[in-house]
Chain A
Amino acid sequence: MSDLTKLSLKAALDGMNKGDFTSLELTNAFLDKIDAQNPKLNAYTLVTHDHAREMAKASDARRAKGQVGALEGAPLGIKDLFATKGFRTAACSKILGEFKPEYESTVTSQLWRDGAIMLGKLNMDEFAMGSSNETSAFGNVINPWQIEKKLTPGGSSGGSASSVAADLCLGATATDTGGSIRQPAAFTGTVGIKPTYGRCSRWGIVAFASSLDQAGPITKNVEDCAIMLKSMCGYDAKDSTSLEANVPDFASFINKGVKGLKIGVPKEYRMDGMPEEINQLWENGIEWLKAEGAEIVNISLPHTKYALPTYYIVAPAEASSNLARYDGMRFGARVDGNDLNDTYEKTRAAGFGQEVQRRILIGTYVLSAGYYDAYYLKAQKVRARILQDFTDAFKVCDAILTPTAPSAAFPLGQKQDDPIQMYLNDVFTVTTNLAGLPGLSLPAGLSKDGLPLGLQIIGRALDEETIFSVAGTIEAAANFTAKP
């Protein structure tokens, strides 16, 4: 038998449907590969061998009875931000210690409902705060591309992206607060979508910044992405911000083409100092879409450059409050002090890494008495302006095409000492989080150094369908077949 781990999610599902192999065989192939590769990549923080095999056997048994879910038998990796009942969920922070939730996140329960298999928990930046996976309490994740160079897989969903790129799972869950699905997808040659805010339930996902957080999949290709997204999303009464929207068969839009679609190209995304190869990639994308009958429209998103500073007020503010519950009292690690306050302070100093501390400090500061109006309120108003930019743009176009990130994957350690340089990684992705819009990244070419580069497609709220049509067209034209 050929290497099953190299299959796409779709091909693997088809193979099991045809009886070519069982879920247990497939799962064992992945577990073997993880055991061999993970020590180098550090993509998994926990591999649930026994549980995975049990799930696979149960899946094969269901299949034998004719019960075949949409993801029946498919082994997936789960970002450590999703609560998995009985399995350590640490958000890759020391402060959660050996926390094993007694509940399962809505998104993962839907995957299991549809027959998927959990291989383990995936590494990430601590509490999803980072763009290089260097803030994890479990250590850096290595990008499987040019592994000897020790490049970042991006972040925060670095473990998800790295494991998908290295065939350590068929697909992975991820989350995106400022670009954490799309930037790592771009850095690893994988496909990732952050759906419309409210598409995926946030229930059971460790919160970073509640008004921005969205779950989504990272997969090997666009079709897999559509398949996995369909299982992940849907209305959940347990999340007050969940949308009661119909969940279409996203995959059915991939081959619809782009004829007659208006594709917006925002001038503000042509940034000074952006590598020429990124510009070229963008031009290629434009040409491919034109060739398939799309109309290219020049648009303006005038408040683009204010998106990152806005994000760095809103996200830390919400995070400072969301992370107050990590106090060593009811769960997680506690460092005993002389009294209550000393215990709080020692626990949180020891439990949170430097980037998390930095963001909690900023968030606390911008909400504190006397500064709220100047920072937080102002940021909320600029956020409204950013949304308005998109609302205006979508009056003249159906989807927007941009690069995903301003560079290819960079060496670990390169930007660690300069927070703002690190933050700039998300310059093209963060706008959609602020506006709540869906955005997908797919690989569209290689840099001169042979590293993958991604293009981003942004859609109207709840219009993932058009995004998949555009993505399908680009994927076909780009014919990106390179592997790490």
Chain B
Amino acid sequence: MSVNEKDVRKIAKLARFAIADEKVPVMVDELNGILNWIEMLGEVNVDGVEPMTSVVAKDLPMREDEINDGFIQEQIVKNAPKSSHGFFIVPKSVE
């Protein structure tokens, strides 16, 4: 499988970063180089193999339903590029 310029633009859009026109062909080449290399996985027979999502051989630990966090409004918005009255301020985004 390989990607073309349209694919790269689409992926960049999904990943939300602007990509300069002149950088698109470079990215196409780089991605295809990596994708071609990855192709070698096709050689591996994985019939009947369960996909591995974690190396930790235990089940999900659960916590009790207790309120023991929060009420730190100041700390939550402290690093915000813009905030006011405890809100984060972001560009106008109406659906």
A/B touching: CB–CB < 8 A: yes
Give A contacts to B, CB under 8 Å: 99-102, 197-198, 211, 237, 240-241, 243-244, 303, 305-306, 309-310, 312-313, 320, 324, 327-334, 336-337, 339-346, 348-349, 352, 357-358, 360-362, 364-365, 368, 371, 374-375, 377-385, 387, 419-420, 434-436, 461
Identify the closest chain B residue to A381 (Cβ).
B46
Quick check: B81 and A383 within 8 Å, CB to CB?
Answer: no
Identify the closest chain B residue to A436 (Cβ).
B55
Report the tally of A-B residue pairs with Cβ distances under 8 A.
158
Q: How far is the CA of A446 from the CA of B10 in the complex (A)?
A: 48
Q: How far is the CA of A324 from the CA of B14 in the complex (A)?
A: 10
Q: How far is the CA of A309 from the CA of B19 in the complex (A)?
A: 25
Give B contacts to A, CB under 8 Å: 1, 3, 7-8, 11-12, 14-19, 27, 30-31, 33-35, 37-38, 40-41, 43-44, 46, 49-56, 58, 60-61, 63, 72, 75-82, 88, 90-93
Identify the closest chain A residue to B8 (Cβ).
A361
Quick check: A330 and B79 within 8 Å, CB to CB?
Answer: yes
**16 A-B contact pairs sorted by A residue (CB < 8 Å):** A197-B56, A303-B44, A309-B41, A320-B15, A328-B81, A329-B88, A331-B79, A331-B81, A337-B91, A358-B30, A365-B11, A365-B31, A365-B35, A387-B52, A420-B37, A435-B55
Quick check: A306 and B44 within 8 Å, CB to CB?
Answer: yes
CB neighbours of A333 from chain B (8 A): 81
CB distance from A238 to the nearest CB of B (A): 9
Known: A237-B63, A384-B51. A306 touches B41 (CB 8 A): yes
Known: A328-B81, A420-B33. A344 touches B11 (CB 8 A): no
Known: A330-B79, A333-B81. A339 touches B53 (CB 8 A): no
Quick check: A340 and B91 within 8 Å, CB to CB?
Answer: yes
CB neighbours of B91 from chain A (8 A): 336-337, 339-340, 342-343
Which of B11, B43, B58 is A243 in contact with, Cβ under 8 Å? B58
Quick check: A309 and B37 within 8 Å, CB to CB?
Answer: yes
Quick check: B18 and A346 within 8 Å, CB to CB?
Answer: yes
Quick check: A327 and B38 within 8 Å, CB to CB?
Answer: no
Which of A313, A368, A385, A461 is B44 in contact with, Cβ under 8 Å? A385
